[in-house]
Structure 1
Amino acid sequence: MPLPDDHGGYGERLLGQSRPGEADRLAALADACDPATVAVLDTLPLAPDSRCLDVGAGLGTIARRLLVRCPQGRVTAADLDTRFLDGTADPRLDVRRLDVRTADLPAGSFDLIHARNLLAHLPDRERVLSRLVGWLAPGGFLYVEDVSFFPVDSSPHAAYRTLMRAGLATVGRTVGSDLDGWARSYPAPLLARGLTDVGLRVRCAPVTADSPDGVLWRRSLEQVRDAVVDGGAATEREVEEGLACFADPAFTDLAPALVAAWGRAPRS
């Protein structure tokens, strides 16, 4: 049956930490995405005592990387559900259960804010982005990263394309996510908020049966398959045919793009 209109958001109905297998999915996400993210973060001129905020920290892999990068600094790892973060023991790491939509943090609190796969899932993403910019210290950096599905639209594999698009439609309808246009608009939202030294990176990785992105998207689609079928975005047969692509050793395609943008707050 269709999902009710008064649905919960991301992490409540879909892909939340309480769902079976979510830790494995987040580990797959880190395997697929962390290397490219870290490669950019390592180029930013952060002071050793920088104050960092990782929003939607998940397993905390980026937060722990920032602890190494800023050995005299502090890192706040924030998420709606911190069950995968609570066991992290480091006096410089502050684990906080935090809703970025309503949190009351002082202006100028952080020298770096990292938010991956967050804004695209928030219907009020424009307002939240402005809040993040307001939390930057003068000269601080904001790094945001989100998915855009445009490479999937030209896929020559109909079963893969159908299932990926069905997953997109389900997440969009259930959560209010924009996995098409939001990240594709980067870096314009950062420029519009006065950030400088703005950069852009687009990562479009291969999907195979054993590639990091193949594992990530297979796990993600398995998490939402019931909602896809119940909501009428695809039939059970279409879901099975699409998932079979991820088990086929001869299958190769492109993952959705991961678009990153970063910029620096004015110093005065």
Structure 2
Amino acid sequence: MTGTHSQDGEQAGGGRYGKDLFEPEHPHEAERIDAAALVYDPVTTRRLKALGAGPGRRCLEVGAGTGTVARWLLEEAGVDEVVALDRDTGPLAGLAGPRLRVVEADLTDESLRPGGFDLVHARFVLMHLPERRRLISRLAGWLNPGGWLVLGDAVELPDVLDTSSAYRRTMDAMWQALRATIGTDTSSVPAYPHFLREEGLRNVAADLFCPPLVAGGPLARFWSETWSRMQPALEATGRVDAGVVEEALAYLASPRLAELGPGMAMTWGQRR
């Protein structure tokens, strides 16, 4: 497996999300994605609405997943057309209508030409892809004049006082395993506003949403399913063993759970 190296020298894997990890055909994958959507969709849709998502707009939803944002754009925002793009569109089978176009394609495919859009949105997509800076240029190039590019990716504000708990060790092992397996890298996410400025976009701004982890809540369920599915890769990092992972999973379900979980940095900018 080939890879690239980050500035700290850690090798990034050449695998792909949905192929080497988190296969869409897994019986619990849609449930895992929807658990995170319950937390992040309200934040996302408020921003898209504030940026004018509505009638008269053509929108591109990149990495459409199970279609929760695409469905909101169609049914709640009332946009004229949504193009839902994903490498595997099976989870979008329930979406249908004359204002929806489902495109099964890889964002990195140079032959992809989806047209021009008034809104391009990608959430938790670029962080898993190589050459993400080049992909931001590509997404910005698909904007119509006055159109908005909205990017959301993961950030984490770890508790620097906690270096040894099962939760912290498992979370750290997860980020290392994701990078080693599929090349996930969140280090450039805080630079997204600068990248959009470099693309010539105006009205560039950003915000940060870090939801609390609550036992029994959707985000705790998301991380529990994620860690359970990744357990062999977590143990392969050497940071944790089966006992540590099991302790971390029990903590996610415990009333003792009190953590500021990984959140989402959202950045947006408008084509002149």
Pairwise CA distance, 1:47: 5.1
Tell me the residue number matched to 2:223.
217
Deviations 1:224-266 (A, max 9, x none): 1122123434211121121111011121111112100011011
**Counterpart residue number, 2:38:** 31
Q: CA deviation at 1:195?
A: 1.0
The CA deviation at 1:18 is 2.1
* 2: CA distance, partners of 1:196 / 1:102: 27
Provide the aligned length of Structure 1 versus Structure 2: 263
Structure 2 residue aligned with 1:158: 165
What's the % identity of the aligned pairs?
38
What is the deviation of 1:46?
3.7
Q: Note closer, same or farther for the CA distance 1:72–1:28 as it changes in structure 2 (3 Å cut).
A: closer
Tell me, yes or no, if the aligned pair for 1:108 and 1:134 is still in contact at 8 Å.
no
Aligned residue for 2:92, secondary structure, equals coil
Kept in 2, the 8 Å contact 1:54–1:114? The answer is: yes
Structure 2 portions without partners, runs of 5+: 4-12
Offset from partner CA, 1:118-159 (integer Å, 9 cap, x none): 111112101111110011111100110000123355557711
Distance 1:4 1:198 in 2: 35
Whether 1:208 aligns to 2:214 is yes
Conserved 8 A contact 1:148-1:182: no
Aligned CA distance change for structure 1 residues 207 and 72 (closer, same or farther; 3 Å): closer
Aligned partner (choices 91, 96, 101) of residue 108 of structure 2: 101
**SS of corresponding position for 1:146:** strand
3-state SS of 2:120 partner:
strand
Q: Is the 8 A contact 1:7 1:174 kept in 2?
A: yes
Match of 1:136 among 139, 143, 157: 143
Q: TM-score, normalised by structure 1?
A: 0.91
Contact kept in structure 2, 1:50 and 1:70, CA below 8 Å? no
Written as runs of structure 1 = structure 2, the 5 A alignment for 1:1-268 is 7-46=14-53, 48-71=55-78, 73-106=80-113, 109-151=116-158, 153=160, 155=162, 158-179=165-186, 181-266=187-272
Distance 2:256 2:36 in 1: 23
Deviation at 1:32, TM superposition (A): 1.4
Q: Shift in Å at residue 192 of structure 1?
A: 1.6
Distance of 2:85 and 2:177 partners within structure 1: 26
TM-score, normalised to structure 2, is: 0.89
Give RMSD over aligned pairs.
Answer: 2.1
Which letter maps to 2:235?
V
- Secondary structure at the residue paired with 1:16? coil
- The 1-side partners of 2:119 and 2:84 are apart by 12
Distance 2:198 2:160 in 1: 29
Counterparts of 2:79 and 2:235 in 1: how far apart (Å)? 50
Q: CA deviation at 1:104?
A: 3.2
Q: Which amino acid aligns with 2:31?
A: D
**Structure 2: which amino acid aligns with 1:221?**
W
- Amino acid corresponding to residue 243 of structure 1 in structure 2: L
> In 1, distance between residues paired with 2:109 and 2:50?
31
- The runs of 5 or more residues in structure 1 that have no matched partner are none
Cα distance in structure 2, aligned partners of 1:68 and 1:81: 23
Q: CA contact under 8 A between 2:173 and 2:234: conserved in structure 1?
A: yes
For 1:243, what is the secondary structure of its paired residue?
helix
Kept in 2: contact 1:155–1:161 (CA 8 A): yes
**Greater CA deviation, 256-265 or 231-240?**
231-240
Residue in 1 aligned with 2:6?
Answer: none
